Each structure stands twice: as C-alpha cells, then as structure tokens.
Amino acid sequence: MTVRVLVVDDSPTVRGRLVEVLGADPDLEVVGEGADGKQAIELCRSLRPDVVTLDMMMPSMTGLAATEYIMAYCPTPILIISSSTNRRDLFKMYDALAAGAVDVLEKPAGDATDEAWERKLLSTVKLVARIKVITHPRAKLAPLPAPAVEKPASGRYRFVAMGASTGGPAAVLRILKSLPATYPLPILLVIHIGRLFAVGLAEWLDSQSPLRVAYATDGEPLPEPGRGRVILAPPDRHLVVERSRLRLSAAPERHSCRPSVDVLFESAAREWGERTIGCLLTGMGKDGAQGLLEMRQAGGWTTAQDKESSVVYGMPFEAAQRGAAGKILSLDEMAPALTDLAEAGS
C-alpha cells in the first residue's frame, strides 16, 4: 500500500529536495506541500495523509504549534525534519516530541546528493507512517494508582536504570513529571536520539522535571540515595556503572547505538545486582532487552512498557519475549511503581 506523505517546510529548496526524494520511491506518494504551520494543519485536515514531514521554525505558525493542533484534533504521525541546534529551537523540537511527534531527522546538507541521508529519510518516513498515534492533548493526565509491587527489604535499591528510543523523550518526561520532587533514588538514563539533536536534551528535561537532570561526567560518583537526580548519557558515549562511579565510554556501538541501553543495564546487573531497578520504555529495535534480562537474573526489579502505551513496541516487546521484565506496565503506571519501590526500600 502506498504511503501518502505531506511535506511542510518554509524553504522552497528544502521542500523541493524532500518532494524529489520521496516522490522517487514507488512506495511513497507526496500528496501535498505546505510552507508554514497553518498550511500544515489545513492540508492535514483536508488530505488526511499517512505521515507529515514537518519543519520546526516557520513563519505564521511554528511546527510546534502545528504539532500540538494536529495531535489534538487530527492525529497523524509526524516526522520532524530540522537543522537548527540552538537552545531555543532544540527546546521547541523536544516540546513537539512531547506533544506527540514521533521522531526527528536532520535536514539535508545544501544541494549536494547524499545517498545515505536519502535512504535514512525514506526508511524513517515509512517507519513513522506505520505508527498508530492517538489524540494527544497537552492537558496533564491524572496518574493511575500504583500497581502492586513486591515490597523490598529496607534500603534495598540503589538506583534506577532506564532506557528508551523512539518516543522516548515524551515517555521519560511523563514519568519524571509524575515522580515526587523528593524521589530518593538516582536515575541513570539512556535515550536514543540523533547526535545533532541530543545536546540540549538534559537541559530541556531539567526545565520540565521536578528532579534535576544533567549529563553524566566521566568518573563522577554514583549519587547516594537521598535526594534523587537524573543522570543522562551524553551524545555518542556509553554510560556504565563501575565501582560506584559513572564512566563514559567510546566503545563500539551496540545495536547501532552509542549510547546503548544494553551497555548501561549490563553494568548495573554486574555491579549492583539485586539492588537495581530496570525500566525499558518505548523504542524500535532490541537494545536493552538482553541487559534487562541480566538485571532480572541478577535479582533486580525489572519492568517494560506495555504495547498499548508504547509509540513503538520494539524494545519492550523483545524484553517481554525473553522474560526480562518482571512487570509489564503502562506508561502511567511507571512512576507510581517506581515511587512505591523507592519508598518501601528507603
């Protein structure tokens, strides 16, 4: 079945390049073009495309405003295509991901032919088009009651290890916003996102979360339980726990990823075993599934996100298939479960 694509970008040159590349693929059909957010909304409502490629910084109405409207009133998979890396524009892109956009891809570089970028564009558009999105109003949803969890022995848990990929920024933010500001355990976090767009992610999460969020620095001590904080793997570096310190590594990619969730989870299992909590969220592929299994086998408490609340049920599915997840939880059940575990084990 042909995938119907709406292309929206205020630059005629970039828009023309996107239309040319997408239109040359027999499995894709460009059904419309727009130059700003208002046109994106109008064309989305009238054409009902399977996927929208959307620039962020446009006149009249930004890509963020268009994303919020589209996801609230005519939900459609959105692929952000951007090139800006300044703080303000990156924050708008993260806000769009939180509002329901599925993924982000860098713009083509100039007029030069880049076959690798073209292949990435085509594969990403096809992937995003297959994702079933839901109405996504920005209103905060009330958290669900905490699911039943096994009560740990006092002081059992040392930290939470968490990983996510496609859909990850929004999922992680939703969990962090639902945790109390007094959450006691440090959270070590890996999110797959393009290196170009990762530089401001910790600062954006920090601005939205009741917990402090910062990138890890090599050799810093693993924070003691007490006042929790979130420590994010920086772009292009694996994050591992080693003898009560955090280490950053430029070791080879795992599952084509650096940072890799598996690398973090495996170090958590190896160094702290039953004193760890593992949490694997939405994402494409299988990164994190084996590491989560090792955490469970070492006695840690493990969970994976359920299919219904995942943007892409890839990584959590792999974990469920391997028996790596002691609990399968919806996104809204994650924070209450983590809170219950931390309070019971404090």
Q: What is the pLDDT of residues 328-339, one digit of tens each?
A: 999 999 999 999
When pLDDT is cut at 50, 70 and 90, the band that residue 155 belongs to is low
Give SS3 for 239: strand
Q: What stretches of 9-95 adopt beta strand conformation (E)?
A: 28-34, 51-54, 78-82
- Could you give the residue numbers annotated as active site? 165, 192, 287
- Local structure of residue 34 (DSSP, 8 states): E
**At residue 110, does pLDDT exceed 70?**
no
pLDDT reading at 220 higher than 60: yes
CA distance 66 to 44: 10
Burial class (CB in 10 A: 0-12, 13-18, 19+), 52: buried
Order of all β-strands in the sheet with 301-305:
212-215, 229-232, 187-191, 159-164, 276-280, 301-305, 327-329
For residues 202 and 218, give the distance between their C-alpha atoms in angstroms, rounded to a whole number. 16
Are residues 332 and 308 in contact, defined by beta-carbon separation less than 8 angstroms?
no
Residue-wise pLDDT tens digits, 83-107: 877 888 899 999 999 999 999 999 8
Does pLDDT of 154 surpass 90?
Answer: no
Q: Quick check: helix, strand or coil at residue 341?
A: helix
